[in-house]
């Protein structure tokens, strides 16, 4: 039987299996039209252009503009664009032209606000990273009523949820001062200046996921204090992520209490815990005179210590299935470790991972 005689679902199954195994699907596009169609369906489904040079972004925009069938396969797009004043006027027009081709887009992150009004897609997930580069117009909110995951990390004034965004269940916001009176399931926010997460208590019965990421405005945030405040407000969380994004040069790093006791006592249902520190040199026991004080110390510049901290966290929290621990040893030099165990308290397995794999563990976008 020739390739051309195979049912279409066979091509799809082959491509799906190869993709699950981490294989490169691009060569399949040269075998036959059927293989090319099914491989492209996977290759172009989610496009992440973060960290790419503008020439690569513009090359992608040109490809999509010239090949509409590829644009129709894109369902998720993540951009990282420079400030408007750094963008060439002709590049602006080309990017907007390409965006108009993505008629099936469901997730958009990183586009400037002025680019997205009047576009044909209907989003379910949206992130606007730089509102000062052109705020999102009211017309956009009026047409995008199907958004369920909304992240506005630098925009303190939120749109109307009752009139414009009735379906939002996940919200990313830099402040907890003004929150919608609706049963949110997932929240992403920054390290708060006052360290108080008490406004989240209104979601204690519905909130499953909390992601705290960013940089504290007044020096390194206290990990133990942050955890304690969160536990007092939403102790029934399933997924918790705390990621420090800034290394403070004025601080050489400090030692602080390990998170293990707070996690064990404060979170009765936690399944996933992600912790990435940049300003903590060591987690250490507050009781240096106890027999176990040395074993409760964790040097965050040591890969074995990172793994040991993750193992101890999983052992202390019986509901936890996965923990991810990361640290910035020196500026630009990071270590990350992911630890998992099977349901029912199986053996714990540890693995060093890349930055992309580590970020994928944050459950705010993809629970």
Task: Note the pLDDT tens digit of each residue in 162-179.
Answer: 777 889 999 998 888 888
So what's the pLDDT on residue 293?
A: 46
Structural domain harbouring 37: 1-43
**Residue 198 forms part of a structural domain:** yes
User: What average pLDDT does this structure show over 135-156?
Assistant: 81
Nearest C-alpha neighbor of 276 from the set 240, 250, 308: 240
Q: What is the pLDDT of residues 262-311, one digit of tens each?
A: 999 999 999 999 999 988 889 987 654 444 545 678 999 899 999 999 99
Please, what is the angle between helix 8-20 and helix 33-43, to 10°? 40
With tokens 């960013």, the residue in question is: 214
Q: What is the pLDDT of residue 1?
A: 47
Tens digit of each residue's pLDDT (9 = 90 or more) over 312-354: 999 989 999 999 999 987 777 888 999 998 766 678 888 888 7
Residue that is last in its domain, among 315, 344, 361: 315
Q: Is the pLDDT of residue 149 over 90?
A: yes
Query: Does residue 73 have a pLDDT over 80?
Result: yes
Q: What are phi and psi of 349, to 5 degrees?
A: -115, 140
Count Cα neighbours of 148 within 13 Å in the Cβ-side half-sphere.
8
Residue 175 covered by a domain: yes
Q: Which of 271, 287, 315 is the last residue of a domain?
A: 315
* Residue 20 domain flag: yes
Say if 150 falls within a structural domain. no
Total tally of structural domains belonging to the chain: 2
**Which segment, 54-68, 106-120, 216-230, is predicted with the most confidence on average?**
54-68
Is residue 29 one of the residues assigned to a domain? yes
Mean pLDDT over 203-230 rounds to 87
209 domain-assigned:
yes
Residue 114 within any structural domain of the chain: no
Residue 241's CB is within 10 A of a number of other CB atoms, namely: 21
Final residue of a structural domain among 315, 343, 360: 315
Query: Residue 286 has what pLDDT?
Result: 65
Residue range 238-263: mean pLDDT, rounded: 83
300 in a structural domain: yes
pLDDT tier at 356, thresholds 50, 70, 90: low
The whole-number pLDDT of residue 2 equals 53
What average pLDDT score do residues 81-92 get? 75
Q: Where is average pLDDT lowest: 56-65, 114-123, 233-242?
A: 114-123
More confident residue, 216 or 276: 276
**What mean pLDDT comes out for the span 143-149?**
90
Q: Where are the alpha helices (DSSP H) in the chain?
A: 8-20, 33-43, 54-66, 68-71, 89-99, 138-143, 223-233, 260-266, 303-316, 355-359
Residues 6+ positions from 357 with CB-CB distance below 8 Å: 336, 338
At 313 the pLDDT is 94
pLDDT over 90, % of the chain:
32
Is there a single domain that holds both residue 39 and residue 175?
no
């Amino acid at each position: 039987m020739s390739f051309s005689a195979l049912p279409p679902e066979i091509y799809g199954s082959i491509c799906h299996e190869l993709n699950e195994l981490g294989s490169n699907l691009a060569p399949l596009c040269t075998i036959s039209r059927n293989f090319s169609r099914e491989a492209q369906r996977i290759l172009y489904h989610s496009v992440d252009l973060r960290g790419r040079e503008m020439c690569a972004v513009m090359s992608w925009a040109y490809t999509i503009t010239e090949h509409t069938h590829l644009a129709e396969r894109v369902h998720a797009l993540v951009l990282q664009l420079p400030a408007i004043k750094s963008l060439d006027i002709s590049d602006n027009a080309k990017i907007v032209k390409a965006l108009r081709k993505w008629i099936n887009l469901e997730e958009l992150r990183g586009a400037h606000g002025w680019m997205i009004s009047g576009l044909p897609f209907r989003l379910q997930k949206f992130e606007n990273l730089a509102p000062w580069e052109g705020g999102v117009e009211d017309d956009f909110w009026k047409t995008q009523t199907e958004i369920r995951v909304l992240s506005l990390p630098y925009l303190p004034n939120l749109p109307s949820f009752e009139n414009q965004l009735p379906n939002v269940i996940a919200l990313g916001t830099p402040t907890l001062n003004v929150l919608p009176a609706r049963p949110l399931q997932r929240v992403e926010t920054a390290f708060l200046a006052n360290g108080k997460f008490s406004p989240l208590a209104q979601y204690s019965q519905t909130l499953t996921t909390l992601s705290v990421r960013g940089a504290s405005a007044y020096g390194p945030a206290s990990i133990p204090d942050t955890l304690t405040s969160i536990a007092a407000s939403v102790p029934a969380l399933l997924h918790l992520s705390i990621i420090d994004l800034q290394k403070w040069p004025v601080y050489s790093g400090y030692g602080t209490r390990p998170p293990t006791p707070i996690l064990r006592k404060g979170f009765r249902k936690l399944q996933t815990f992600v912790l990435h520190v940049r300003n903590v040199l060591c987690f250490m026991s507050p009781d240096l005179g106890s027999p176990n004080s040395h074993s409760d110390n964790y040097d965050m510049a040591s890969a074995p210590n990172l793994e040991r901290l993750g193992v101890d966290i999983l052992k202390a929290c019986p509901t936890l299935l996965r923990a991810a621990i990361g640290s910035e040893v020196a500026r630009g030099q990071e270590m990350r470790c992911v630890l998992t165990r099977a349901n029912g308290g199986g053996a714990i397995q540890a693995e060093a991972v890349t930055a992309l794999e580590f970020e994928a563990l944050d459950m705010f976008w993809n629970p």
